[in-house]
Structure 1
């Protein structure tokens, strides 16, 4: 069993598209139910920095900081809501291998850069994982307007107030990792996406609807070890 991890998630863009649930259903394990808001499933792309990653209880200075980006949707299992990831691209080889092995997540190695310039964020990701479909994402984004607490707005709460994720291991068992953090502080976001082939790499057409976008400066997170969702060992 892997120990719990502490980390910081910083400079996040939540780029979210409403889609027909039927488009996502074939891509999600049958045991999971798609979670919907106002009758729509949601497909999201989330770039950010995963910072100060370390075993729980160790000082921040021993941790690693790596930029990453994920493609995800929202699901429930026996009524418990969480995130389901279609892909996660990250800069560090060791982190990618560890997440694949211990958390059963579809991580891919990518060359990623993130910089903060004039109050905005510039993010670039180019997948370099051997044997994987190529995927590129390039964007700049910044917060706009006044901050708000995500639980105050139903759609924002649905999209970001998720306290765990489900994944399947190599034997087809459903697994759950709990994620602990304070409620999100969000801003409306102003993104400029110059390239996004992540969705196509997962065999999704780009949704017709405009995305709903949020920015967060981030928060501190604790992730548990991965456990069988059915409670078995």
Structure 2
């Protein structure tokens, strides 16, 4: 279930990578708006009666397909995901991605073919500093869309100030996907997030509209993390009678 620590070990990862300079931007949405965009078998996972959509830009480093080593020219690239939080059969929680933009043709192709996750090949940048600038613009033949996001990270959040809502929005240990017409999951393992306060300096995006979602209104909830090292397991078909998380 959602929380600070992974609920499972990914002993035989299909993908290993590090996520660096990670920003989290979240907006609350009516549950029916999100439910209408989900595949059969999934429903929104709610916090205080609201569904949540998140825009998460970051930098991938050390991408590799174990047991093969990382290739310097292919292992480092920006990525941004547009996601929501869901429950599947048996109430098992996880992530659902409406889109993932990556500046890596290898990732886009292998992810589409191997997992069904909707990657888009984009020209992207991440510029760290006192502020962090994330840019993206989809390449042809993708429908034009992109973003320019500038975040100013703040001080670390003391453990006592990390809320259950923070865990709900960041601590997810599986992603749902549809592969060959069937619901499936990808298990995820990484260290607990080291969360920091953050603020938005600039935000321009049209990824929501490109995904057929309403444009968010109002300022987002914002957080930042220097990053984690992640292991993603192979795709697993969802059993019809899944056992709920405990």
Tell me, yes or no, whether TM beats 0.5: yes
Aligned to 1:97: 109
- TM-score, normalization: structure 2? 0.86
Aligned length: 228
Alignment deviations for residues 54-112 of structure 1 (CA, whole Å, 9 cap, x no partner): 13355567670110111000001122111000001110111100110111110010000
What TM-score results when the alignment is normalised by the length of structure 1?
0.91
Change (3 A) 1:137 1:153: same
1:151 CA displacement = 9.4
Aligned residue runs from structure 1 range 129-144, under 5 A: 129-130=140-141, 132-144=142-154
Structure-1 separation of matches of 2:221 and 2:96 = 19
Unmatched runs of 5 consecutive residues or more in structure 2: 1-11, 241-246
Residue of structure 1 equivalent to 2:185: 176
Residue in structure 2 matched with residue 163 of structure 1 by the alignment: 173
Provide the rounded CA distance (Å) in 2 between the counterparts of 1:150 and 1:200.
Answer: 37
Q: 1:98 to 1:143 in 2, by over 3 A?
A: same
Q: Deviations over 1:100-131 (max 9, x none)?
A: 011111001000011112x221111001141x
Q: How does 1:7-46 map to 2 (within 5 A)?
A: 7-46=17-56
- Residues in 2 aligned to 1:116 and 1:206: alpha-carbon distance in whole angstroms: 27
Q: How many angstroms does 1:9 deviate by?
A: 0.5
1:64 alignment counterpart: 75
Write the distance in 1 (CA, Å) between the matches of 2:157 and 2:67. Answer: 30
Alignment check: 8 A CA contact 1:135 1:201 kept: yes
Contact kept? 1:150, 1:184, Cα under 8 Å: no
1:222-233 maps to which residues of 2 (within 5 A)?
A: 222-230=231-239
CA contact (8 A) 2:152 2:201 kept: no
